[in-house]
Structure 1
């Protein structure tokens, strides 16, 4: 079923809480709903607005926003070792994590409390604490707006990378994700080597699924602001990936600089939050925008900020990091 809204206030539909409007917003359940919407050429301009947690509106949107609302979770196969699960695009991601943990299924527990919908997970290849969505995703179901056909992409065809996928490039503006399939395991496989996870899990009695979920949830709540209290989109910046020689040179000057393995062994992933902090920007504010005092990756709306003000402030943060370290940090948030 399609539900349509016109001249809609987007303030409650984006976690930054910027006050913009959209000419039209369409909530949809199925690919057939999308087919009917695009049958006669469809809207001239459109984009998907899922949970509104990774988007920054800088102006009123004069096109159509598409919002998935189907929220079913179905086990397609379970051989006792692994389970294949189909998840509709409108499922809250953290609800899915809780669903898996409650059933003793391993694979996405480290992604607890990430805001947003399941359909958005493959677009950004969401990740946290040493895990990424691509580790569990087997295939993605989508609707092609240019051919009016449903398609299924195997994970290998999704071109997953660090906060990257084919949906941000070749299929941008041509496909709407309707569901994902993920492969979860009945075998314990804790990943505790990132940040404070191991210590927090041990304090709860050891590496059970429930303890890992509770530990990561506690860590995130302690570090990240609640969007209901201060508008934000979570991590605003990506961790930069640099040549190993660049990382080595920086480590000579800053021995305590965190560094992590990258997919390419010749490169190293650096912690953008650490770079922002050491550039003197953690907790810094200008006007109605600031860097969160407990997590430097997060920009916060201090009250009434516009999207333009947020972008201008983000450029100031990028400039500070570039001047201090010679490193460019890119934005993670989708900017409209």
Structure 2
């Protein structure tokens, strides 16, 4: 991107060198990523007329990311995406404590999570970057030395394929995800409440006022959580519905419909004016849809644009929040000798 200067992303942090990497395909789509947080910084995609726009929120320097009150723009999330109730869980009879950073809970792996670490990175080819990290035993309170690799590959079909792999030398829990904040108008170009959303889910996991799952798997039928048919995000976001009040809007995990193994369709979102469309496929059982409710006008990003409330959305493919404390949720336990793998594909096109 012309507005981004590589030198602004080159900095020694914790004894490691941060840097900017560029991925391009043969259609002109371009993604800039940096190894501080294995983070996507910009993502240029065309509208139906071929006009390019950067559709992810972010900043123009690594220092801006370090200083930001919103630490997750574009970042890799780990060791455990989403919330863990009261920052505590028990595994094999041992209780572990994660620092509280979203009172009263631990969010996205704690305050020193993967978003705040410089990963090892290598440019595999002009369209692929591999990020690797060794999260040492006890990091943020989690057990085991966790060896993580995330590969970002931009295809000529305008897909970003994110492949995850991890191993451990001690039993641990893991829930990795990606946290780009999207706006298909372009980053900082107004509300996303006019985007039209489909989520491939009959059920979701309701949360308490502290945004921790109650343990229930609830039907979306007859509620504002039903996106099985294309629906404008803003149509029901302020409805008199307890779950929307708890999250100040949409900030919930949907239980994705699955048919066999492998990549499954999770969601589609369309911005009618530009014609830009994003589709998501994943191997994970859930997806957090977040409507940007907690963004605010104090956040100023690329080009000096303001990132106010509901000017972005996130599709975080994942296991369910607080899974280590919810016996009826799919397990997030990883043991020595096992390999954690998952894949997420974000595909863009215009119609």
TM-score between the two structures when normalised by the length of structure 2: 0.27
The higher-RCO structure (CA 8 Å, 6+ apart) is 2
Q: Hey, which of these two has a bigger chunk of helix by percent? A: 1
TM-score between the two structures when normalised by the length of structure 1: 0.28
Q: Hey, which of these two has a bigger chunk of strand by percent? A: 2
